[in-house]
C-alpha cells in the first residue's frame, strides 16, 4: 500500500478543493496506487501525486491523464480545472513582503507621493494657481486623475513649503456627501497659525448628485465662497467632473469664481505616461519590458479617462509577475488596459454562489447614482444600509470582502464606495444592470435619501412621502420589488401609505362636517361681515402669517444646528456642545433637546484656564480635591477639582516647571525646574530649601508610595533619590544607556523604573541603587508607567506603540503589544501614559486626544478629543472618576468625568437566579443550597432567609409581588410557592403540573430547551398570579389568596408576561414574535402587536399603563433583533422604535414617572432612554439579568451575570441644568468665525455667557 496522503482542507481555497476532488475520484475508482496509475500514462507517480497534493494547481494535461486512469469524464474535469484556475487567479496575491507599486482602481493618497509620477507640470500649475487665488477649480473628465492630483500632488507640494506664511496652517480634505453644509461647515473655520487653512474638496459633483436639498447645496457653496472674503485666512480648491461643470453656472458667484481661476486636466502625453508606468516599478526595484511600456502607451494614448484602467492593468500585471520583471505576456493575461477591470470583476462575480451573486448585484447598484443628462456616478453608502440588503449582515460582509479583495470597492469605517467610476463604464455586466434598472434606480435613490432624512429626524411625520412622490413610489415599488428595499425603507413607505389613508379618511369626515356647518352659517356670515372687520381680520392674518413664518424659520434653524451638533460630537465636542445649546435657545425642538442631552453625555467636565504657556505636568493630591499643574510659563497653579476654580498660583521659579508631584500624605508638593527641586508646604504655601542637582535640570519627579523617597530624573543619564524629610541625597544612579523618560515607582516602593532611548527599561533597587532587571524593548522608550497592582509596566515607544510587560518575569504578556496610538500615529506621536488607581485602565495621550484602554482585554474603551495639541501629561484622580490632561501647547487643562457608567454600590456573593422588587428596595437570590436570601438593597443586609427542601424544591426562578410583601418561587417539581416575607413562611403552594424553569420572564428559553417552560407575572394588586405552561400553550390565572385556578387563556408558546397597572390587561409575548394584550374581564384577546422578527424577549408596561415596551431575542437579525418597540396600548399602534443595542434585550424597567426606560442587553450595556426625545441619555456598562428603579427614579438596582447586585446613579439632569453644566465645562462662547459659518446672523444673546 502506498504512503498515506497528508490531510487536506477543501475549504482552504480553490487549489485545495480541486485536489480534494481528485483524491475523491481516485478513491471512488478503487483506490488505485500512484505507481499503478503511472504505468498506464506517461507521467511519473510523484507528478500524479503532486497533482492531488493541494500545494499548487497542476497543469491541464496532468489532470486529464489522472482523470482518464480513474475513469472520470474528461470534459467535466477540464471544466472544473478551468474553474479552479479562474478562482486561483482571483485570489489575492500571496504576501511575499513585496509592496505593490501601483494603486489599481484606488486613488493615490498623500502618503503615495513617492509613487505618483507623470504629473509634475500639472501639480506646479495647480499649486501656483491656488496661491494666486483663494478659490480655484480643477476640472477634468472621469478617470483623468483629479483625485490623485489633489491628494498625492497638490497636498505634498503645499506641505513642502518652507516659508511659515506659505505653509498651510492645516489642510482639510473632504467630499461633499448628501448633507454638505451640515457635515462640513466646521471645516471652513480657519485654524490658528501663520499660514492659511486649505480646504480641498474632492468630487465636488456630489453637490449635484448626492445632495438633493437645494438649501443644503446653496449653503455649502456659499460657505466655500467665503474664502474669497478679504482676511478669510481660508483657501479652497475644488475638483469637479467636466460633465458637471455646466451645473456650476447655475450658481452665479460660483461661476464667477471658477471663471477667474480654473485648471483643465487633460490626458497625459507619451513621456508622462512612460513616467507613470516605469518609475513606480523602478522605485521598488522592478523591471518592465520595453515592449510592455510601448504597448500600454499605445493602448492608452488618446483614450479619455483611461488612467484608472491603466493603473488597474498595471496592478494585475504586477500580480502576475515572474521574479522582478513585469512582462507583456502577464499584461495580456490580465486583459490589458481595456479588459483588466472587466476580467477581474467577472472572475469575482462568476465564482459567487447564486445567492451571493444576487446580493452582489444589489450591493453594487446601491453604490451608483444614475445620471440624468450626465454620466452615472458612484454613491458612497453606509454599512448599516448595505447590511440589510442580504439574508444577514454576515452574508453582506462576505460579499463585500470579496469585492474589496479584488479592489472593486473600498471599505471605510462607516461607508462603502466603488473603487472608481471606471468600473461603471469598463464592466459590461454592471453597465447592463444599470440600463435595465435605470428608472427603478432613480426612484430608489430618492427613496433612500428620503428614508435617511426621516430617520435622522426621529421619524417625523412631516418627512414622509406625500402626493405625487408617494403615488410614484407606490406604483414603482410593488410588493415583488420591495425585496430590493431595506427594512427601514419598507417601513418608511408603509408608514407613508398608512398616513395618507388616515389623512384621507380624516379629510372626508372634515368635509362632511364643513358642508353642514357652511350651510347653516352662510347667511349669518354674510350679514355679520363689515369692511372694518374684514380689514382687521386681514391685518391679523398677516401678523399671524408673519409670526408663523418667523417661528418656522427658527424651528428649521434649530433643527439644522442640532443636526450639525450631532455630526461634530466626535471630531469637535466643544463646538458640538455650543451648537446644541444655540439650537435649544433658538427653538426648543425635540431635535435640539436631544442634541443638548447628547452633548451633556460627553465626558468633558471642566476647562481650567490660566496658564499662558504649555502645561508639562499635572498631579492630583491624595484626597483628589486639589490638582497641581506645572507650566513653561514658570508657574504652578493649584485648582479646586470640584468647582474648577483656582486656589492659588505659585511663582518665582527660575525656569519652566517641567514636573510636579504630591507627597503621599498630601503635605508637600515637589516641583522640578532649572536644575533644582522645590518643595512647597501645602498648608502654608511656603517653600522649603530646594534640592539642587549638579545635572542641570529635572524633567521627571515621583514620590515613592510611602513617601520615603523622591525620585528626580534629568532625562539624560542621572537618576537621584532624595529624602524629602531631610533634603539629603540618598542615592545617585547613572543610567548609562542614554536619555530616558519619566520615572515611576513600583507600588511597594522597592523598585523605580526608567526607560532609555536605546530600547531598554531598567528596574532599579531603591535601597541599593543597583539594577534588578533590564527589559529589552527593542525600540526607543519614551514613556514608562507602573501599574498600581505592580504586575504590569506600560512602555511607550518612539514609533507610537504601547507594550505591557510583567516586571516580575521580564516578559511581555501580549496584551496591547503593538497597540498604536490613535489617529495618524507617527514616530513620536505618543506623548503620555497614566494608569487608573485600580490598575484597570491605561490612558494614552497623543496629538489632540487621549484613548482609554482596558488592561484586561487590551481593547480601547473610549477616546477623548482634546483639540489642545500634544497631550503632554495625564493623571487620574485617586478614586478614578476624573482624568486631568495637560497640553504642551498653550491651552486649558482639561478635567474629564469618568464616573458615568460606574455603580455607586455593589453587593456580591450571590448565587443563581434572582429578582428585584418592583420598587428596587429588595433583592432575592438563591444561596446555592435550595434556599433564598432576601436582602435590603440600600444596606446590603440579609432581611430574611426562606428555608426550602433542597431535594424536592430546588428553587430556581423568583418573582416579587407588587407590594414586595410576597415572593413567588418556582421549582423543578412543578410547584410555585408564595412566601410571606414578614415571617419567612410559605403562604400557599400552587401545583402547575409542569417543570418550572423560569418565573416572571423566560427571555432565554426556546421551545426546544425544556419540556415545559413557565413564565409568570403578578397583577398590580398582588391578588392574581399568571403562569404560562409552554408544553400546554396556555396561560393560567391563579388566586394568590386561595391558591385556586381562576381561568385559563389559550395561547401560543409564551416567553414573557406583564400585567397592566390597573390589572385589567395581561400582555403576553410569544415565541412566534407576536404580543397579545388580553382583556382579563372577558378572557379574550383585545389587541395583537405584530412585527417582531423573533421570539419576544421582554414586555413591560409604563406606570400609567398607556404604553407597552417590547423587544425580541432574534440574535441573527442585523437591526430588528436589537430594537425596543414602544406601543400605544389603547390603539395598538407603534409610537417609537429605540435602536442602539447590538444584541438582544435581557430586561426592561420604567421609572415611576414613566419618562425614562432602562433596557439591558446581552451586549453588556444598560441604556437609559428619554421617552420624550426617544434618545439615549446614558449608557451603563454591565450585563444584567434583572433590574428595577427605586421609587424616586434616582437609582437603578440591577443583578448582573456575575451574581452581584449593583446600585447605579440614574439621576439625570434636565435641559437647563445640562446647558449650565456644558457652559461651565466649555468656558467659552461661539467665535465670530463659528457664528459666520453656522448662524444666519449674530445672536442677540451669548450662547454661553463667560
Tens digit of each residue's pLDDT (9 = 90 or more) over 16-44: 899 999 999 998 888 888 888 888 887 88
Strand pairing report for 841-845 and 819-820 = unpaired
Section 848-875 average pLDDT: 84
Range in 378-382, 389-393, 904-908, 1150-1154 with the lowest mean pLDDT? 904-908
**pLDDT grade for 376, boundaries at 50, 70 and 90:** confident
pLDDT tens digits, one per residue of 1017-1039: 555 555 565 656 544 555 666 66
Contacts of 305 (CB under 8 A, 6+ apart): 141, 142, 143, 144, 422, 425
Task: Provide the grid cell at 1236.
Answer: 459666520
Burial of 310 (0-12, 13-18, 19+ CB in 10 A): buried
Coil, strand or helix at 1028: strand
Instruction: Say what the pLDDT of residue 920 is.
Output: 73
Instruction: Say what the pLDDT of residue 818 is.
Output: 40
Residue 332 pLDDT more than 90?
A: no
Question: Does residue 1143 or residue 919 have the better pLDDT?
Answer: 1143
| 279 and 288 Cβ atoms separated by less than 8 Å | no
Partners of 1048 in the β-ladder? 1036
Range in 94-103, 330-339, 579-588, 932-941 with the lowest mean pLDDT? 94-103
Q: Which of 235, 232, 184, 230 is nearest to 207 (CA)?
A: 184
Range in 516-525, 687-696, 1143-1152 with the lowest mean pLDDT? 516-525
| 542 and 550 Cβ atoms separated by less than 8 Å | no
Residue 624 pLDDT more than 70?
A: yes
Distance, in Å, from the CA atom of 38 to the CA atom of 31, rounded to the nearest integer, reads: 14
Range in 772-776, 928-932, 1033-1037 with the lowest mean pLDDT? 1033-1037
Instruction: Say what the pLDDT of residue 821 is.
Output: 40
Contacts of 63 (CB under 8 A, 6+ apart): 22, 51, 77, 78, 81
| Percent of the chain whose pLDDT exceeds 90 | 19
Distance, in Å, from the CA atom of 154 to the CA atom of 117, rounded to the nearest integer, reads: 13
Residue 699 pLDDT more than 50?
A: yes
| 1097 and 1003 Cβ atoms separated by less than 8 Å | yes
Partners of 895 in the β-ladder? 606, 884
Contacts of 717 (CB under 8 A, 6+ apart): 695, 734, 735, 736, 738, 739
Instruction: Say what the pLDDT of residue 521 is.
Output: 53
Strands (E), 937-1074: 941-946, 958-960, 966-970, 975-980, 985-991, 1014-1018, 1024-1029, 1034-1039, 1045-1050, 1054-1059, 1065-1070
Instruction: Say what the pLDDT of residue 1050 is.
Output: 62
Partners of 411 in the β-ladder? 416
Strands (E), 682-778: 686-687, 691-692, 700-703, 710-713, 718-723, 728-734, 744-745, 751-755, 760-765, 771-776
CATH of span 14-90: 1.10.260
Radius of gyration of the chain (CA): 36
Question: Does residue 185 or residue 1007 have the better pLDDT?
Answer: 185
| 1172 and 1210 Cβ atoms separated by less than 8 Å | no
Domain boundaries, the chain: 14-90, 119-267, 605-897, 909-1203
**What φ, ψ does residue 543 adopt, rounded to 5°?**
-65, -40
Distance, in Å, from the CA atom of 1236 to the CA atom of 1222, rounded to the nearest integer, reads: 22
605-897 and 909-1203 share one fold: yes
Coil, strand or helix at 750: coil
> Residue 80's Cα: distance from chain center in Å?
43
> Residue 1091's Cα: distance from chain center in Å?
27
Distance, in Å, from the CA atom of 812 to the CA atom of 381, rounded to the nearest integer, reads: 41
**pLDDT grade for 908, boundaries at 50, 70 and 90:** low
Coil, strand or helix at 849: strand
Residue 620 pLDDT more than 80?
A: yes
Instruction: Say what the pLDDT of residue 695 is.
Output: 58
Instruction: Say what the pLDDT of residue 1119 is.
Output: 46
| 477 and 494 Cβ atoms separated by less than 8 Å | no
Strand pairing report for 325-326 and 377-378 = unpaired
Burial of 130 (0-12, 13-18, 19+ CB in 10 A): buried
pLDDT tens digits, one per residue of 235-249: 999 999 888 888 898
Distance, in Å, from the CA atom of 751 to the CA atom of 744, rounded to the nearest integer, reads: 9
Instruction: Say what the pLDDT of residue 112 is.
Output: 87
Q: 10 Å Cβ neighbour count for 466?
A: 13
1077, 1083, 1084, 1090 alpha-carbon torsion, rounded to 10°: 20
Strand pairing report for 676-681 and 668-673 = antiparallel
Residue 324 pLDDT more than 60?
A: yes
**What φ, ψ does residue 1249 adopt, rounded to 5°?**
-60, 135
Q: Where are the alpha helices (DSSP H) in 98-202?
A: 120-132, 146-148, 155-159, 180-184
Range in 128-137, 295-304, 886-895 with the lowest mean pLDDT? 295-304
Burial 540-560 (b: 16+ CB within 10 A, else e): eeeeeeeeeeeeeeebebbbb
Alpha-carbon separation of residue 631 from 199, 651, 799, 873, 896 (angstroms): 34, 11, 26, 11, 20
3-state secondary structure 332-380: HHHCHHHHHHHHHHHHHHHCCCHHHHHHHHHHHHHCEECCCCCCCEECC
**pLDDT grade for 157, boundaries at 50, 70 and 90:** very high
CATH of span 909-1203: 2.130.10.10
Alpha-carbon separation of residue 893 from 637, 821, 890, 1226, 1248 (angstroms): 11, 21, 9, 11, 19
pLDDT tens digits, one per residue of 248-279: 988 999 999 999 999 999 888 889 999 999 99
Partners of 771 in the β-ladder? 764
pLDDT tens digits, one per residue of 815-825: 454 444 433 23
pLDDT tens digits, one per residue of 453-502: 787 777 877 778 888 788 888 888 888 777 778 888 888 998 988 888 88
Strands (E), 808-960: 811-812, 819-820, 832-835, 841-845, 847-854, 859-876, 882-887, 893-897, 905-907, 911-916, 922-926, 932-936, 941-946, 958-960
| 620 and 579 Cβ atoms separated by less than 8 Å | no
Instruction: Say what the pLDDT of residue 417 is.
Output: 86
Distance, in Å, from the CA atom of 100 to the CA atom of 571, rounded to the nearest integer, reads: 33
Residue 992 pLDDT more than 60?
A: no
Range in 633-637, 903-907, 1015-1019, 1226-1230 with the lowest mean pLDDT? 1015-1019
Element spanning 1136, H or E: strand 1134-1138
Instruction: Say what the pLDDT of residue 85 is.
Output: 74
Task: Provide the grid cell at 62.
Answer: 496532468
Strands (E), 624-780: 626-631, 636-640, 646-650, 659-662, 668-673, 676-681, 686-687, 691-692, 700-703, 710-713, 718-723, 728-734, 744-745, 751-755, 760-765, 771-776
Section 897-913 average pLDDT: 63
Section 775-795 average pLDDT: 88
Question: Does residue 753 or residue 870 have the better pLDDT?
Answer: 753
Instruction: Say what the pLDDT of residue 528 is.
Output: 54
Instruction: Say what the pLDDT of residue 997 is.
Output: 39
Section 788-801 average pLDDT: 86
Instruction: Say what the pLDDT of residue 1000 is.
Output: 37
CATH architecture classification, 605-897 = 7 Propeller (2.130)
119-267 belongs to CATH 3.40.50.300? yes
Strand pairing report for 381-382 and 377-378 = unpaired
Strand pairing report for 801-806 and 811-812 = antiparallel
Question: Does residue 938 or residue 51 have the better pLDDT?
Answer: 51
Q: At what angle do helices 336-350 and 290-300 cross, to 10 degrees?
A: 90
Residue 871 pLDDT more than 70?
A: yes
CA count, 13 A, side-chain hemisphere, 1227:
16
Q: Where are the alpha helices (DSSP H) in 601-694?
A: none
Residue 1009 pLDDT more than 70?
A: no
* H helices, E strands: number in the chain: 32, 69
Question: Does residue 364 or residue 1054 have the better pLDDT?
Answer: 364
Section 411-433 average pLDDT: 82
| Percent of the chain whose pLDDT exceeds 70 | 84
**pLDDT grade for 1148, boundaries at 50, 70 and 90:** very high
Name residue, grid cell 467630499. 175
Sign of CA dihedral 964, 967, 968, 972: positive
Section 302-324 average pLDDT: 82
* Mean pLDDT across the chain: 81
Sign of CA dihedral 499, 501, 505, 511: positive
Amino acid at each position: 500500500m502506498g504512503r498515506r496522503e497528508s490531510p487536506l482542507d477543501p475549504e482552504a481555497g480553490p487549489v485545495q478543493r480541486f485536489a480534494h476532488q481528485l483524491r475523491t475520484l481516485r478513491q471512488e475508482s478503487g483506490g488505485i496506487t500512484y505507481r499503478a496509475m503511472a504505468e498506464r500514462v506517461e507521467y511519473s507517480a510523484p507528478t500524479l501525486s503532486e497533482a492531488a497534493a493541494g500545494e499548487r494547481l497542476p497543469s491541464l494535461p496532468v489532470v486529464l491523464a489522472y482523470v482518464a486512469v480513474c475513469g472520470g469524464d474528461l470534459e467535466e474535469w477540464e471544466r472544473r480545472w478551468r474553474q479552479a484556475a479562474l478562482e486561483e487567479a482571483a485570489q489575492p496575491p500571496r504576501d511575499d513582503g513585496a509592496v505593490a507599486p501601483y494603486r489599481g482602481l484606488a486613488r493615490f493618497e498623500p502618503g503615495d507621493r513617492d509613487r505618483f509620477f507623470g504629473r509634475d507640470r500639472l501639480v506646479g500649475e495647480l499649486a501656483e494657481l491656488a496661491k494666486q487665488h483663494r478659490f480655484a477649480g480643477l476640472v477634468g473628465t472621469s478617470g483623468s486623475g483629479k483625485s490623485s492630483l489633489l491628494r498625492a500632488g497638490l497636498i505634498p507640494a503645499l506641505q513642502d513649503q518652507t516659508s511659515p506664511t506659505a505653509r498651510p496652517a492645516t489642510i482639510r480634505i473632504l467630499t461633499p456627501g448628501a448633507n454638505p453644509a451640515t457635515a462640513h461647515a466646521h471645516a471652513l473655520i480657519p485654524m490658528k497659525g501663520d499660514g492659511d487653512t486649505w480646504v480641498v474638496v474632492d468630487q465636488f459633483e456630489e453637490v449635484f448628485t448626492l445632495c438633493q436639498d437645494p438649501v443644503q447645496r446653496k449653503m455649502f457653496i456659499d460657505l466655500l465662497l467665503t474664502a474669497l472674503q478679504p482676511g478669510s485666512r481660508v483657501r479652497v480648491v475644488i475638483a469637479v467632473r467636466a460633465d458637471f461643470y455646466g451645473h456650476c453656472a447655475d450658481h452665479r458667484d460660483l461661476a464667477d469664481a471658477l471663471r477667474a481661476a480654473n485648471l483643465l486636466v487633460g490626458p497625459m502625453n507619451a513621456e508622462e505616461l512612460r513616467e507613470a508606468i516605469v518609475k513606480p516599478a523602478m522605485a521598488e526595484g522592478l523591471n518592465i519590458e520595453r515592449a510592455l511600456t510601448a504597448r500600454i502607451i499605445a493602448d492608452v494614448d488618446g483614450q479619455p479617462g483611461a488612467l484608472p484602467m491603466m493603473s488597474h492593468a498595471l496592478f494585475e500585471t504586477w500580480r502576475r509577475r515572474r521574479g522582478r520583471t513585469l512582462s507583456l505576456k502577464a499584461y495580456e493575461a490580465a486583459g490589458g488596459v481595456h479588459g483588466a477591470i472587466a476580467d477581474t470583476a467577472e472572475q469575482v462575480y462568476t465564482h459567487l454562489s447564486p445567492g451571493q451573486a444576487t446580493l452582489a448585484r444589489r450591493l453594487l447598484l446601491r453604490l451608483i447614482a444614475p445620471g440624468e443628462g450626465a454620466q452615472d456616478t458612484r454613491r458612497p453608502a453606509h454599512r448599516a444600509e448595505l447590511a440589510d440588503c442580504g439574508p444577514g449582515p454576515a452574508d453582506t460582509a462576505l460579499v463585500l470582502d470579496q469585492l474589496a479583495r479584488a479592489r472593486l470597492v473600498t471599505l471605510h469605517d462607516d461607508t462603502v464606495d466603488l473603487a472608481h467610476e471606471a468600473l461603471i463604464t469598463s464592466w459590461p455586466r454592471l453597465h447592463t444592470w444599470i440600463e435595465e434598472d435605470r428608472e427603478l434606480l432613480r426612484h430608489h435613490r430618492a427613496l433612500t435619501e428620503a428614508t435617511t432624512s426621516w430617520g435622522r429626524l426621529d421619524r417625523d411625520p412631516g418627512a414622509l412621502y406625500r402626493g405625487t412622490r408617494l403615488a410614484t413610489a407606490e406604483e414603482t415599488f410593488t410588493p415583488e420589488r420591495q425585496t430590493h428595499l431595506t427594512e427601514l425603507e419598507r417601513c418608511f413607505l408603509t408608514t407613508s401609505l398608512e398616513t395618507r389613508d388616515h389623512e384621507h379618511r380624516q379629510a372626508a369626515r372634515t368635509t362632511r362636517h364643513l358642508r353642514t356647518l357652511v350651510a347653516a352659517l352662510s347667511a349669518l356670515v354674510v350679514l355679520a361681515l363689515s369692511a372694518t372687520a374684514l380689514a382687521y381680520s386681514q391685518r391679523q392674518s398677516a401678523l399671524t402669517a408673519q409670526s408663523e413664518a418667523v417661528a418656522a424659520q427658527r424651528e428649521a434653524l434649530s433643527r439644522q444646528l442640532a443636526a450639525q451638533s450631532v455630526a461634530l460630537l466626535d471630531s469637535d465636542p466643544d463646538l458640538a456642545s455650543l451648537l446644541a445649546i444655540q439650537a435649544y435657545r433658538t427653538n426648543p425642538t425635540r431635535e435640539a433637546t436631544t442634541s443638548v442631552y447628547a452633548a451633556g453625555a460627553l465626558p468633558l467636565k471642566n476647562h481650567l484656564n490660566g496658564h499662558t504657556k504649555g502645561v508639562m505636568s499635572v498631579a492630583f493630591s491624595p484626597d483628589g480635591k486639589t490638582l497641581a499643574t506645572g507650566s513653561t510659563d514658570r508657574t504652578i497653579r493649584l485648582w479646586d477639582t470640584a468647582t474648577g476654580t483656582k486656589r492659588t498660583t505659585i511663582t518665582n521659579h527660575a525656569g519652566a516647571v517641567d514636573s510636579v508631584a504630591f507627597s503621599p500624605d498630601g503635605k508637600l508638593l515637589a516641583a522640578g525646574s532649572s536644575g533644582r527641586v522645590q518643595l512647597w508646604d501645602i498648608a502654608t504655601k511656603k517653600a522649603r530649601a530646594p534640592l539642587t542637582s549638579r545635572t542641570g535640570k529635572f524633567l521627571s519627579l515621583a514620590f515613592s508610595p510611602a513617601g520615603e523617597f523622591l525620585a528626580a530624573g534629568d532625562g539624560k543619564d542621572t537618576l537621584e533619590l532624595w529624602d524629602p524629610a531631610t533634603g539629603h541625597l540618598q542615592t545617585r544612579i547613572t543610567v548609562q544607556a542614554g536619555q530616558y523618560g519619566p520615572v515611576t515607582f513600583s507600588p511597594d516602593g522597592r523598585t523605580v523604573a526608567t526607560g532609555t532611548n536605546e530600547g531598554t527599561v531598567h528596574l532599579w533597587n531603591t535601597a541599593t541603587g543597583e539594577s534588578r532587571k533590564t527589559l529589552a524593548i527593542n525600540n526607543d522608550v519614551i514613556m514608562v508607567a507602573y501599574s498600581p497592582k505592580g504586575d504590569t509596566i506600560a512602555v511607550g515607544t518612539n514609533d507610537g506603540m504601547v507594550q505591557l510587560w510583567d516586571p516580575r518575569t521580564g516578559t511581555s504578556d501580549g496584551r496591547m503589544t503593538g497597540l498604536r496610538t490613535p489617529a495618524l500615529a507617527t514616530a513620536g506621536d505618543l506623548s503620555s501614559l497614566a494608569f487608573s488607581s485600580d490598575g484597570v485602565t491605561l490612558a494614552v495621550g497623543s496629538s489632540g486626544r487621549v484613548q482609554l484602554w482596558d488592561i484586561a482585554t487590551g481593547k480601547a474603551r473610549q477616546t477623548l478629543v482634546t483639540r489642545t495639541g500634544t497631550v503632554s501629561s495625564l493623571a487620574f484622580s485617586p478614586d478614578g472618576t476624573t482624568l486631568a490632561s495637560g497640553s504642551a501647547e498653550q491651552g486649558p487643562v482639561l478635567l474629564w468625568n469618568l464616573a458615568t457608567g460606574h455603580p455607586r454600590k455593589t453587593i456580591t456573593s450571590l448565587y443563581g437566579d434572582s429578582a428585584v422588587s418592583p420598587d428596587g428596595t429588595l433583592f432575592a437570590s438563591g444561596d446555592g443550597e435550595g434556599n433564598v436570601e432576601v436582602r435590603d438593597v440600600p444596606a446590603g443586609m440579609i432581611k430574611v432567609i426562606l428555608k426550602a427542601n433542597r431535594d424536592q424544591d430546588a428553587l430556581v426562578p423568583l418573582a416579587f409581588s407588587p407590594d414586595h410583601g410576597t415572593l413567588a418561587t418556582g421549582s423543578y417539581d412543578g410547584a410555585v410557592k408564595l412566601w410571606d416575607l414578614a415571617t419567612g413562611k410559605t403562604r400557599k403552594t400552587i401545583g402547575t403540573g409542569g417543570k418550572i424553569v423560569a418565573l416572571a420572564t423566560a427571555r432565554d428559553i426556546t421551545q426546544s430547551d425544556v419540556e415545559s417552560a413557565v413564565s409568570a407575572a403578578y397583577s398590580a394588586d398582588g391578588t392574581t398570579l399568571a403562569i404560562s405552561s409552554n408544553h400546554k400553550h396556555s396561560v393560567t390565572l391563579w388566586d394568590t389568596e386561595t391558591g385556586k385556578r381562576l381561568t385559563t387563556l389559550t395561547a401560543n408558546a409564551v416567553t414573557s408576561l406583564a400585567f397592566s397597572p390597573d390589572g385589567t390587561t395581561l400582555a403576553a409575548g410569544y415565541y412566534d414574535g407576536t404580543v397579545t394584550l388580553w382583556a382579563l374581564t372577558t378572557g379574550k384577546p383585545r389587541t395583537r402587536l405584530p412585527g417582531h422578527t423573533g421570539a419576544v424577549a421582554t414586555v413591560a408596561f409604563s406606570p400609567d399603563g398607556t404604553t407597552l415596551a417590547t423587544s425580541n431575542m432574534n440574535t441573527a437579525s442585523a437591526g430588528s433583533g436589537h430594537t425596543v418597540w414602544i406601543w400605544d396600548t389603547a390603539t395598538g399602534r407603534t409610537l417609537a422604535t429605540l435602536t442602539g443595542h447590538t444584541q438582544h434585550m435581557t430586561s426592561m424597567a420604567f421609572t415611576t414617572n414613566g419618562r425614562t426606560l432602562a433596557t439591558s442587553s446581552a451586549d453588556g450595556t444598560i441604556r437609559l432612554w428619554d421617552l420624550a426625545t426617544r434618545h439615549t441619555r446614558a449608557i451603563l456598562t454591565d450585563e444584567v439579568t434583572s433590574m428595577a428603579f427605586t421609587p424616586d427614579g434616582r437609582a437603578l438596582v440591577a443583578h448582573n451575570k456575575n451574581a452581584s447586585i449593583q446600585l447605579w446613579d440614574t439621576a439625570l439632569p434636565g435641559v437647563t441644568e445640562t446647558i449650565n453644566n456644558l457652559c461651565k465645562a466649555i468656558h467659552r462662547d461661539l467665535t465670530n468665525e463659528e457664528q459666520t459659518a453656522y448662524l444666519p446672523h449674530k445672536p442677540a444673546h451669548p450662547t454661553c455667557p463667560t
